[in-house]
RNA sequence: CGGGGCGUAGCGCAGCCUGGUAGCGCACCACCUUGGGGUGGUGGUGGUCGGAGGUUCAAAUCCUCUCGCCCCGACCA
């Protein structure tokens, strides 16, 4: 492609609306333009990248034995009513009516449609397992679309759904898809981790998320430094501390802690390590308020806490007024001693002895409080977030956990029979009996992968595409294309030859100053660059520079095509 | 949805407080200049000041309503 033939819509200034680097760079490089909140047009340059990701996904889905279909974006309400999600889904589901006032929605996902298809078309266990996928625009009316295509309302997703005779078959396909996902993100050229995940609202038993590691990621994930354990921080298990709780040493006493509310303030004021303090959080329980106790330096894991049988769903913290009523004080002085409500302590908090906690009187704390002596023995559970340095919870691993940030680009589930049961999707087994098919579902945010690739690969000058998804492999930059006959002749010839060898080449034939061209090619992230100028041609050479290189390399004109073919994997 | 902020040329912004002919930089067009990291110059094109209503001789500016967008908290690929 010649630059004169493509809409190269680069801009110098950073649009005010863009906060994250990938969003800024996608706008500046002219990859996308916003049409409305969370709704974007993909310009030619951006679309080339999107298509390359799609191609990799298709190839790996085919390799994994999945078949491509294309389902409607608009779906009838009946199907959603049948699965029960028409009422469950809430305002994130974009609902519409046709001219006959019939209800439809714009599909945020396709479990219902595929289950409907499969129950009609698949009758026999001999047709199983079956795995269908599509690559399609989804719409989810997110409360707060953000970060450009990273969290858009309309986004491109690859979704796959597998159907099985039994759970063993489901697990088998799940493993194949797990491996396929790893291959996809490897091929795109991303640093990523599959992590054990909470199944959340979609349901099912087993689930993994695929995270691209990036400091700007919205999710925290815990990774072991020795084994391959990795889990979303929502799920990561905190092991109970080793050893037994020490016996109470000193008598409990009340101290004044005027205006000291947070654990930080209180421990600094009392000159006590936060690990020797306990903090008490009050939430709604199934029959009234309930207290959750954590070691001062730990944070509540709300997902774990919400799973406690004593806790009301969803997890809701008491309001200041309700706290006053339950504990008799303000937030900063709540303590576990003398509470009249059930207490659940985290493992680490339950191991404390002679600790500091609030006295349920404003501006007062207790020193040397002890479980069993000053307060009843609490119910004990794992309700905290793991922290950097926690021991790895994988069996007999001696490693410790590191916390990293990640961007969720894929999520796979063993769904089980949630949808096939509700929609009565059955096949006849060997004995002629109807069996409800267990299902798996597997998603990749294709458009999000593009943004994630940028978050992981950029510098001050712009994007640095991995070869596999670059809109063009190679930038051909003539110096004086419109002035020097020799430069033009060599450039045109090189261009034709490189293209003939299958490389995606962007040749900048604009009558622009070299600085402008270099800046644009760097910004849009073309990973390889050849400069053709009279200076080099005098030596029968052109200059090569990789996007990450500091130095230029002269390449003899005669070797250029072979060198580039060797350098760029196709 | 709750809290904060912003809507003035394609982009980035000033002007608003204290009402009086709508500005700057970039981009774009023309000509000249320059030609290996966003050259320099001259001249131009482009705006119902988000929309509606009100106050006023007069509204980008003051008031009311409304729409849109951005940022901080509960969801997901």
* Full DSSP string of A176-215: HHHHHHHHHHHHHT--EEEEE---TTT--SEEEEEEEE-T
Lowest pLDDT segment from A43-57, A181-195, A211-225: A211-225
Question: pLDDT by residue (tens digit) across A147-161?
Answer: 899 999 999 999 999
Q: Where does residue A122 rank: exposed (0-12), middle (13-18), buried (19+ CB within 10 A)?
A: middle
User: Across residues A355-373, what is the average pLDDT?
Assistant: 92
Distance A19 CA to B6 C1' (A): 15
- What average pLDDT does chain A have? 92
Which protein residue has its CA closest to C1' of B34? A513
Distance A409 CA to B71 C1' (A): 24
Reported for A42-45, long-range contacts at CB under 8 A and 24+ positions apart, including other chains, are A43/A7, A43/A9, A44/A6, A44/A7, A45/A6, A45/A7, A45/A8, A45/A9, A45/A471, A45/A524
The pLDDT of residue A288: 82
Q: What is the rounded distance in angstroms from the CA atom of residue A461 to the CA atom of residue A10?
A: 13
Question: pLDDT by residue (tens digit) across A262-321?
Answer: 888 888 899 999 999 999 998 888 878 889 999 998 988 888 888 888 888 778 888 777
- pLDDT bucket at A204, cuts 50 / 70 / 90: low
Nucleotide nearest to A411 (CA to C1'): B77
DSSP string across A131-190: EEEEEEEEE---SS-BTGGGB-SEEEEEEEEEE-SSHHHHHHHHHHHHHHHHHHHHHHT-
Residue A400 scores a pLDDT above 90: yes
The pLDDT of residue A218: 87
3-class SS shares of chain A: helix, strand, coil, % to 5: 30, 30, 40
Which protein residue has its CA closest to C1' of B12? A13
- pLDDT bucket at A200, cuts 50 / 70 / 90: low
Which protein residue has its CA closest to C1' of B27? A11
- Decide if A362 contacts A254 (C-beta within 8 A): no
Residue A380 scores a pLDDT above 80: yes
CA A545 to each of CA A313, A462, A468, A532, A554: distance values in angstroms, whole numbers, following the listed order? 58, 15, 18, 12, 9
What is the ipTM, given to two decimal places? 0.91
- In chain A, the percentage of residues whose pLDDT exceeds 90 is 74
Nucleotide nearest to A538 (CA to C1'): B36
Q: What is the rounded distance in angstroms from the CA atom of residue A146 to the CA atom of residue A362?
A: 41
The pLDDT of residue A489: 96
Nucleotide nearest to A147 (CA to C1'): B70
The pLDDT of residue A321: 77
Nucleotide nearest to A23 (CA to C1'): B70
The pLDDT of residue A199: 64
Distance A16 CA to B16 C1' (A): 21
Nucleotides of B under 7 A from a protein CB: 1, 11-13, 25-27, 34-39, 68-77
Q: What is the rounded distance in angstroms from the CA atom of residue A332 to the CA atom of residue A370?
A: 20
Distance A496 CA to B46 C1' (A): 40
Residue A518 scores a pLDDT above 80: yes
CA A568 to each of CA A55, A188, A283, A474: distance values in angstroms, whole numbers, following the listed order? 17, 14, 57, 9
The pLDDT of residue A247: 93
Which protein residue has its CA closest to C1' of B25? A13
Q: What is the pTM of this model?
A: 0.91
Residue A130 scores a pLDDT above 90: yes
- In chain A, the percentage of residues whose pLDDT exceeds 70 is 99
Distance A143 CA to B75 C1' (A): 8
Residue A89 scores a pLDDT above 90: no
Distance A11 CA to B47 C1' (A): 21
Q: What is the rounded distance in angstroms from the CA atom of residue A27 to the CA atom of residue A521?
A: 15
Strands A288-295 and A439-445: unpaired
How many residues appear in chain A? 570
Distance A16 CA to B25 C1' (A): 16
Q: What is the rounded distance in angstroms from the CA atom of residue A174 to the CA atom of residue A396?
A: 26
CA A283 to each of CA A197, A301, A333: distance values in angstroms, whole numbers, following the listed order? 24, 13, 16
Distance A17 CA to B23 C1' (A): 23
Nucleotide nearest to A552 (CA to C1'): B36
The pLDDT of residue A202: 52
Distance A153 CA to B64 C1' (A): 34
Question: pLDDT by residue (tens digit) across A449-463?
Answer: 999 999 999 999 999
User: Across residues A192-215, what is the average pLDDT?
Assistant: 81
Residue A203 scores a pLDDT above 60: no
User: Across residues A415-440, what is the average pLDDT?
Assistant: 96
Nucleotide nearest to A302 (CA to C1'): B74
The pLDDT of residue A419: 94
Nucleotide nearest to A92 (CA to C1'): B75
Categorise residue A497: left if φ over 0, alpha if ψ from -120 to 50, beta otherwise.
alpha
The pLDDT of residue A530: 98
Question: pLDDT by residue (tens digit) across A6-57?
Answer: 999 999 988 888 889 999 999 999 999 988 889 999 999 999 999 999 999 9
The pLDDT of residue A396: 87
């Amino acid at each position: 492609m010649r630059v004169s033939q493509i809409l190269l819509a680069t801009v110098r200034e950073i649009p005010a609306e863009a906060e994250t680097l990938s969003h800024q760079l996608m706008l500046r490089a002219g990859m996308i333009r916003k049409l409305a909140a969370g709704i974007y047009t993909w310009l030619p340059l951006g679309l080339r990248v999107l298509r390359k990701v799609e191609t990799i996904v298709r190839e790996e889905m085919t390799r994994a034995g999945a078949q491509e279909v294309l389902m409607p974006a608009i779906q009838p309400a009946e199907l959603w009513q049948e699965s029960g999600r028409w009422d469950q889904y809430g305002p994130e589901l974009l609902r519409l009516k046709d001219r006959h006032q019939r209800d439809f929605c714009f599909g945020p996902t396709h479990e219902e449609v595929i289950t409907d298809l499969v129950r009609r078309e698949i009758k026999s266990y001999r047709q199983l397992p079956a795995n269908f996928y599509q690559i399609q625009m989804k719409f989810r009316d997110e409360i707060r679309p953000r970060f450009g295509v990273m969290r858009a309302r309309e986004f491109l997703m690859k979704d796959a759904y597998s159907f099985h005779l039994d759970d063993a078959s489901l697990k088998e396909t799940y493993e194949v898809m797990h491996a396929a996902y790893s291959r996809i993100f490897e091929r795109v050229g991303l640093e990523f981790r599959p992590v054990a995940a909470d199944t959340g609202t979609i349901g099912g038993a087993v689930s993994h998320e695929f995270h691209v590691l990036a400091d700007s990621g919205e999710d925290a994930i815990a990774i072991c430094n020795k084994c391959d354990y990795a889990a979303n921080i929502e799920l990561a298990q905190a092991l109970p501390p080793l050893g037994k709780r020490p016996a109470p040493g000193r008598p409990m006493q009340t101290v004044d802690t005027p205006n000291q509310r947070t654990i930080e303030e209180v421990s600094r004021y009392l000159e006590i390590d936060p690990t020797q303090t306990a903090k008490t959080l009050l939430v709604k329980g199934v029959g009234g308020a309930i207290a959750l106790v954590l070691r001062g330096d730990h944070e509540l894991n709300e997902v774990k806490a919400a799973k406690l049988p004593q806790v009301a769903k969803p997890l809701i913290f008491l309001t200041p007024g309700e706290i006053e009523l339950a504990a008799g004080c303000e937030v900063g002085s709540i303590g576990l001693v003398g509470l009249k409500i059930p207490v659940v302590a985290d493992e680490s908090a339950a191991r404390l002895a002679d600790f500091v906690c609030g006295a349920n009187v404003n501006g007062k704390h207790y020193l040397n409080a002890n479980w069993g002596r000053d307060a009843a023995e609490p119910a004990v559970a794992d309700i905290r977030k793991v922290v950097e340095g926690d021991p790895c919870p994988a069996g007999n691993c001696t490693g410790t956990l590191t916390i990293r940030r990640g961007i969720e680009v894929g999520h796979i589930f063993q769904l089980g029979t949630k949808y096939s049961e509700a929609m009565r999707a059955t096949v006849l087994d060997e004995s002629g009996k109807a069996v409800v098919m267990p299902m798996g579902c597997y998603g990749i945010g294709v458009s999000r992968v593009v943004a994630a690739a940028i978050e992981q690969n950029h510098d001050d000058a712009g994007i640095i595409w991995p070869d596999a998804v670059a809109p063009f492999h190679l930038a051909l930059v003539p110096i004086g294309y419109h002035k020097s006959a020799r430069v033009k002749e060599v450039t045109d010839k090189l261009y034709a030859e490189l293209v003939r060898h299958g490389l995606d080449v962007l040749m900048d034939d604009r009558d622009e100053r070299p600085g402008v061209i270099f800046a644009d090619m760097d910004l849009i992230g073309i990973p390889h660059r050849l400069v053709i100028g009279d200076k080099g041609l005098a030596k029968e050479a052109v200059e090569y520079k990789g996007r990450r290189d500091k130095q230029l390399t002269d390449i003899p004109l005669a070797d250029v095509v072979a060198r580039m073919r060797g350098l760029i994997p196709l």
